[in-house]
Homo-oligomer: A and B are copies of this chain.
Amino acid sequence: MPRYDAPVRDMQFVLHELLQLQNYSNLPGFADASPETIDQILDEGAKFAKNVLFPLNAVGDKQGCKRASDASVKTPDGFPDAYKQLVENGWPLLSAHPEMGGQGLPHAVNIAWTEMVSSSNMAFGMYPGLTHGAYQALMAGGSDELKAKYGPKMASGEWAGTMNLTEPHCGTDLGLMKTKAVPQGDGTYKITGQKIWISGGEQDLTDNIIHLVLARIEGAPEGIKGISLFVVPKYMVKEDGSLGERNACQCGGLEEKMGIHGNATCVMNYDGATGWLVGEEHKGMRTMFVMMNEARLGVGLQGMSQAEIAYQNALDFAKDRVQGRSLTGVQAPDKPADPIIVHPDVRRMLLEQKAFLEGARAFVYWMAFQGDLQHKSPDEAVQQKAEDYMALLTPVVKAYLTHKGYESANLGLQVHGGSGFTREWGLEQIVRDCRISLIYEGTNGVQALDLVGRKLGANGGRAVFSFFAEIDEFIAENDKVEGLELYVEGLKTVRAQLQDGTMWLMQNGMSDFNNAGASSHDYLHLMGLTALAFMWARMAKIALEKKDSGDPFYAAKLATGRYFVERMLPDAPAHLAKVKTGAAAMMALDAEQF
């Protein structure tokens, strides 16, 4: 029953009209990303997502993955073939480095494709997604030898990659890690320990799996400063690139989970497996963070992507299902009842989804573009600002987009009424799959703490002040534009609220760290709302200029933006009030009084 059609028109709007990638052809890779090329990628991607990935989404949920007694893992029917097509069509190469065989296209283009994969089949998408993350870590921290050995085949997707961080007793607090690495004197290490929740730790999609494993070298300093990163291939790779013997690591079991059943979540046992150091000894976390930032943007995107498919199906349902009559009189006299989209509260749910989705898409694509600027801009000031934004806003993308994305997926289910709760309509799977995005790659609470405890105050608050300055510049330029007042006023108001919250945190978060912790969640949401308000104001400006073009898309954009300002921004003062309440209420109870 459910369907997925990539929102190509809205993606084009963000890439061509909002970000205007065509104006950056001076940056490496951007010249190859002409509007025509981008449109072709979007069209082909949309077909692949609709015809190849989406039909396997419900199958993957129903079948899940199976581990055999020889510790091999079978993915759902159709996954190996779809993966083969993915690699053959070169999709993983879109934004990979040219020296690794990649096309070197902007991340801002790749993210549109990634959204399609995540929307159409989130569980499947995690296989190439994590491979890409592992590939990036290797490129960021690996020696030339390691890069040459693994890079091209990971870039193409021929080999998969995984990230091994969590152990049974440590997730957020990686300093407690026990997995150990013993140097063998020949440049290799023997890795021993157990890792859990390893997505794609074993599967039947690729000939080899390249595990990136965090471990503690014998005698290393305690805590987080004694952790190193290793490459541990499932099969050894010979000099000529062919596969050698099996390494001493295997899948010890699969987790039974709420969702993403099509992805194999493995317990991985390393029993003296051979590994190679990535980067410097004891500096593994640094490289891992490179990977994690990208992974966190990807997870934020997942939250939004599941909201997108939920929205599409809720919209279909609302147009199709007839039940009751409009409050203001019969709208469909030829039918036994009116389609439920006539009801204001059904529209509230749909618009809540739509206004979030379009704002979130602009925000996360804009962030992907900042990632491009950070690495490719010739202008150091632009690079610096982009790097600052990536640091400051990555936790916001991750936590805000997954939190609101999950709410939004739930609204999609709710529009379906009882049908939403049945398997048949597919919405309940969307909600179950989406739920993990609030947790992995650092729970949303950890993101909020990262924001207020680490990112906000870094370099004297340079990042957030840049953000305010960019918003102020927009406001100054557009303050008197007729027809844009609502959006600019909304932005002004929430920007002032965010500043108020920021000042409160700067004054009170340092004197009592618990104030920072207690306010982190609401502060992050306030920043998320501000980011979306900024995107909406910019989008409204474009739409206003083109609203007489004859394309009803622009009028819809303005109306949706109006919903955002009138109906979503009122949450901002509530978040601000909570921020400014501080920690006292939170810390009043002893643990035993709860």
Contacts and interface: CB of A to CB of B under 8 A. Distances in A.
Interface of A: 166, 169-173, 176, 197, 255-259, 315, 319, 323-324, 327-328, 336-337, 339, 341, 343-351, 354, 406, 410, 413-414, 417-418, 420-424, 428, 431-432, 435-436, 438-440, 443-445, 448-449, 453, 512-514, 516-518, 520-521, 552, 555-556, 559-560, 562-563, 566-567, 570-571, 573-574, 577-578, 581, 583, 585-589, 591-594
Contact of A347 (B346, B417, B443, B586): B586
Given A171-B323, A577-B570, A345 B521 contact: yes
Q: How many copies does the complex hold?
A: 2
Contacts of A583: 344
Given A258-B431, A336-B176, A435-B431, A567 B556 contact: no
Given A444-B414, A516-B327, A345 B421 contact: no
A572 to B, nearest CB: 8
B440 A256 contact: no
Contacts of A574: 570-571, 573-574
A554 to B, nearest CB: 10
13 contacts: A171-B323, A172-B324, A258-B428, A315-B594, A327-B513, A345-B518, A346-B445, A347-B586, A351-B585, A418-B439, A421-B435, A570-B574, A570-B578
A555 B336 contact: no
A590 to B, nearest CB: 8
A513 B343 CA distance: 10
Contacts of A592: 552
A439 B417 contact: yes
Contacts of A556: 589, 593-594
Contacts of A438: 414
B512 A328 contact: yes
Given A341-B594, A347-B587, A587-B347, A417 B319 contact: no
Contacts of A346: 445
A197 B567 contact: no
A324 B435 CA distance: 24
Given A586-B344, A594-B350, A417 B172 contact: yes
A593 to B, nearest CB: 4
